Amino acid sequence: MPLDGFSQGITQKAIKMAGDRCPFVSGVSVGCGNGQKEMTLVRQGVVSSFQLYELSQVRIEQGKRLAAKFGLENKVNFIQGDALDVIMEKECFDFVHWNNSLHHMLDVEAAIRWSYKVLQKDGMFYMDDYVGPNRMQWSDKMLKVASQVRAILPEKYLTNPKNPSQLLPKTIVRNSVESMIEIDPSEAADSERIIDSIKKYFPKAEITLTGGVVYHLACSDILHNFNESQDQHILDFLMLIDDLCVELGETHYAIALAIK
């Protein structure tokens, strides 16, 4: 059944798994951005309070304004820095949150080992992240499926948003590793090891592959061309292809939940 709201699928799974552990008393989030996702967890009663770590002062200031808007100034504490360097104590949080920041860790096993170390017994590990190929070096199979998807779409869906008179290419290609590093040295540096590392430290984790070959690779730059109400049948068809890719083991994203 469809759920309204961002990341509500994993959130509802977390609530169900946690049972009477909710709300968790103290959460930590690494690379929180403006903290909106974490504040949503507080507002939904999943976590009582968060320590939010972020490197960007701009994002922190945005987050503080957002916290004031929601009346959560006493529930979230923004800290500029790297949580993995700052927090050395064991078992000091009962909720460890990663959302699209774990794939920026240069050593994901070290990050997940740290997560296990700081998590209290009966606490929850919560992850929603990119787990696809390192440096987004798509497999040949991913490229073939994504390109075939674009090839079957009517041209109106390939309109370039920056130049409406131009069509975006039907064939998807890889960026070079060098160009990816130049754009962002941390982007998907060690992402391929995320799932295996979670299984190592949280062997009972519930891991769900959430796709992306179609919605992330084939369609991310053309989604604005779809009308959600008029094109729902096409979008449903595209998501079915994405689900089939997941069944073949081809995914970009995953969620993982575990109780220590």
Q: How far apart are alpha carbons 172 and 139 in whole angstroms?
A: 11
pLDDT for the residue 7: 80
**Residues 8-135+183-203, CATH architecture:** 3-Layer(aba) Sandwich (3.40)
pLDDT for the residue 8: 85
Question: Both tokens of residue 166?
Answer: 């131009």
What are the residue ranges spanned by the domains of the chain?
A: 8-135+183-203, 139-173+213-250
pLDDT for the residue 234: 95
Amino acid at 143: L
Element (H, E) at 211: strand 206-211
pLDDT for the residue 149: 96
Peptide bond into 23 cis (omega under 30): yes
- Give 10-residue mean pLDDT values along the chain (260 residues): 72 95 97 96 97 97 97 97 95 97 98 98 98 96 96 94 91 96 96 98 97 96 92 95 94 97
| pTM reported for the whole predicted model | 0.94
Half-sphere exposure of 190 (CA within 13 A, CB side): 15
Q: How far apart are alpha carbons 172 and 217 in whole angstroms?
A: 8
pLDDT for the residue 62: 97
Q: How far apart are alpha carbons 33 and 52 in whole angstroms?
A: 9
